[in-house]
Structure 1
Amino acid sequence: MKLIRTVLTGLLALPLAAAQPTGLSVGGGVILGLDSYKKAVNATTGFLVNVGWETQLLKSGVPARVSLAAATMPGKERNGLKTSLTLVQLTGDLLLETPSPRLRGIFGLSVNSYTAKFSGDESPSIFDAEHHFPFHDCKGLKGGVRLGLEYVQNPHLSYEAILQVTELAGRQRNDTLIRQGAINPGWIQLGARYTF
């Protein structure tokens, strides 16, 4: 009897629990690449999914969100070469109040781990920069900066537009090819987030 009463009480509490956001969220969006993004993959779009948890910055009362994301950045062939990227990203964002109660500013940092897939054959000439991949090595953790806006439609659903810039590859010591400087992809991420 006691077990049945406990289960019934729990079932009655479910609608109330569902009405209160827990801080755990899932989101997704489209990546619209800037010129620096196109330099890496010769394309302008990609896709991203993430899970996040909203909390406070060191108990200061300032809302913050920690997220883990995965993105695919498919490349487009150019001069017989194609470079595609996948990204695993850990972000920490401050969610800043604005004069509008539904609009929040986003300022954050990211730690990024890229994986590159290359296809095609490079030119044997070190002077033929047009027929070489834009980089060869993207190993290691890369830093990034995020700046954006979030529109909160209701306690569960929000929309976001975020400008991101990350490191990817710099000039490589053993590479004899003269390249056009470092590659730091930048993009605008447009997406939605559902908070449980």
Structure 2
Amino acid sequence: MLILLPLDILDLSVNNITLSSSVIEWLFNSNTRVVELYLYDNQFQGLIPNAFCRIYSLKVLSLHDNEFEGGIPKSFSGMCNLKTLSLSSNNLSEQLLGIVHNLTGCANHSIKELYLDNNHIMGLFPDLKTFPSLRILWLSENQLSGTIPESLGKQFNLERLHIGGNPFEGVISEAHFSKLTKLKLFGFQLQPEG
């Protein structure tokens, strides 16, 4: 007989778990109240399941270092308690604007940390004013293009920003930083040519 204890933190990282695992099936169907869920460095492939949004209590969802493809499900927009979403080092290939759109609901008001670096995310850098609580944004090592919008300077709560390793064009000027009074770290390295 399996006795389920109330869990605040569940860390199943580095376990070679796949999406077809009975552990994942239990997680999605158990009505658990997990607040922090760490599933990084497993064997997840394919699309990110909509079922993560059934865990309404989630504040931290760490799925980095897997092989997820596509983008973030639209259902994630209803994850109203989500503060940290880590999807670094996967195979995500959606347009960044699509990712922003799929988090716009109540999740965009709660998210403070968004890690999307080391993927294949494409497109232009969108206006992020709908993410007022954003403190940390990692977008480095993707395929983002175009210019970096001056509207980035309106992200008043931004403390850490990594955007290097993308084929951006144009100039980064004082206007990009004029209102970023809380910014402590800015990571930007030019993408090597060729």
TM-score (norm 2): 0.20
Structure whose residues are more often strand by fraction: 1
Provide TM-score, normalisation by structure 1: 0.20
Return the structure number with greater relative CO, CA threshold 8 A, min gap 6.
Answer: 1
Larger radius of gyration: 1
